[in-house]
Amino acid sequence: MLNTSALHISSDTEEKKHIVYVGRPDDDLPLKLQANGFQLIVYQDPFLAYVGSLSAVYSKKPLPYAFICREDIPRQEAYKFINNLQKCNELNEVPNILYNPDSVTANIKKAKLSGADDLYSGTFPVNDLLDRLEFLHSTKKRYLNEKVSGSSYMKLRISGSKRFFDILISSLLLILFSPAFLLIALAIKLESPGPVFYISKRVGTGYRIFNFYKFRSMRTDADKMIKDLIHMNQYKSETGATFIKIDNDPRITSIGKFLRNTSLDELPQLINVLRGDMSIVGNRPLPLYEAEQITRDLWSKRFLAPAGITGLWQVTKRGRKEMSAEERIALDMAYADRCSMWFDLKIVARTVPALLQKESV
């Protein structure tokens, strides 16, 4: 994978219009854009560029003036990046340009089929590019708004009734389980040093990234051990989509095993629900490395549904070692298609029996 750092290139002010530049900035185009008054945010990894831009949408920050993506990024990632932009109404309104400094390898037809607004290759006057971007700014958003109602652009599936249900249930359960919170925190502290909560970055509805809370059930060095244990992964995948779940995971503490078997480790996620990061019912929010794999394998529909504590795959496949990553994703996508308040209530009714199933993972 390419270097995933995002570099901010700016001369004197944060008020300049900014361009998200994706790929290696090893030519003179970024400097020319900066000389023409633009601030550049440079990502060398297309996935992180997409996630970072979505985060800006959700936090109501100004959208980029344009996306400029190097076409020569390995493994066709530039085309996948352009395709992903089309899945978000706000980001699709921003002009996007594929750019290849090598005019010999540039593929105009492929660029247009991917949904790119234009392709620039070889040597060209930077003013031509700026004129093109200005034209796209004045026409693209208006064109998209005038499209017929049969548009294929995806909408997020969260209703007002579902949000009301989430706030009501999470508030009541947090009050009800507050004594359990204190006892569990004490037990964790007595068994092993380290924090009571495990906090990680997760990708939820519409690829929104948030802090995900659980009671810590593993050793504090668990993340460092994963490379040595990956061969024990329960999920096998032929498409590259990667979930990690290890049978009899040696990283789990004694109290952690009890918390997982009773699903008490999930209680802090009620805080996520109350904050609006998650819902009671939905598809599980994924760690960044898992979300990256699924995005690149075009399984992005599962991110249209709310992120949830419990969901369709938990109540139908919980603890079955033969479940593949493809089966799990298929269940997530099925929930995205059928997401409704009535369907959620049916899943909630099936959740308690599923929790009584024991699993050693």
Question: Model confidence over 49-68: pLDDT tens digits?
Answer: 888 888 877 777 888 999 99
Quote the CA–CA distance of 327 and 87 in Å, as a whole number: 23
pLDDT grade, residue 226 (50/70/90)? low
Greater pLDDT, 350 or 356: 350
Q: What is the pLDDT of residue 3?
A: 37
Residue 300: per-residue pLDDT: 65
Q: Of 276, 248, 222, whose CA–CA distance to 360 is shortest?
A: 248
What per-residue confidence (pLDDT) applies to 152? Answer: 36
Helix and strand numbers (H, E) in the chain are: 15, 11
Query: What is the Cα–Cα distance from 295 to 72, expressed in whole angstroms?
Result: 19
pLDDT tens digits, residue range 136-193?
887 766 555 544 333 333 445 567 888 899 999 999 999 999 999 999 999 999 888 8
Sort 9 into a burial class: Cβ within 10 Å, 0-12 / 13-18 / 19+.
middle
pLDDT reading at 117 higher than 80 = yes
pTM over 0.75: no
Q: What percent of the chain has pLDDT over 70?
A: 73
Q: Does 276 have pLDDT greater than 60?
A: yes
pLDDT at res. 230: 55
The residues that bridge with 42 in the sheet, in sequence order, are 7, 21
Q: Which residues contact 182 (CB under 8 A, 6 or more apart)?
A: none
pLDDT for residue 150: 36
What pLDDT does 70 receive?
A: 93
Map tokens 């209680």 to a residue: 267
The position carrying tokens 């219009």 is 17
- Tokens 């400029």: give the residue: 68
Whether 216 and 255 have beta carbons less than 8 Å apart is answered as no
Helix (H, G, I), strand (E, B), or coil: what is residue 214? strand
Confidence (pLDDT) at 212: 93
Is pLDDT of 279 > 60?
yes
Q: What percent of the chain has pLDDT over 90?
A: 24
Radius of gyration of the CA atoms of the chain, in A: 23
On the CB side of 84, CA atoms within 13 Å amount to 29
pLDDT for 238: 45
pLDDT of 109 above 80: no
Written as six digits, the tokens of 264 are 């008490």
Q: What is the DSSP letter of 228?
A: H
20-45 average pLDDT score: 91
The answer on pLDDT for 122 being more than 90 is no
Q: Please name the helix (run of DSSP H) or strand (run of DSSP E) that holds residue 287, with its range, or none.
A: strand 286-287
Report the distance separating Cα 338 and Cα 255, nearest Å.
37
Packed helices 77-85 and 288-296: angle between N→C axes, nearest 10 degrees: 90
Burial class (CB in 10 A: 0-12, 13-18, 19+), 131: exposed
- Which residues are paired to 200 by β-bridges? 212
Contact yes or no for 166/204 (Cβ under 8 A): no
pLDDT of residue 166: 93
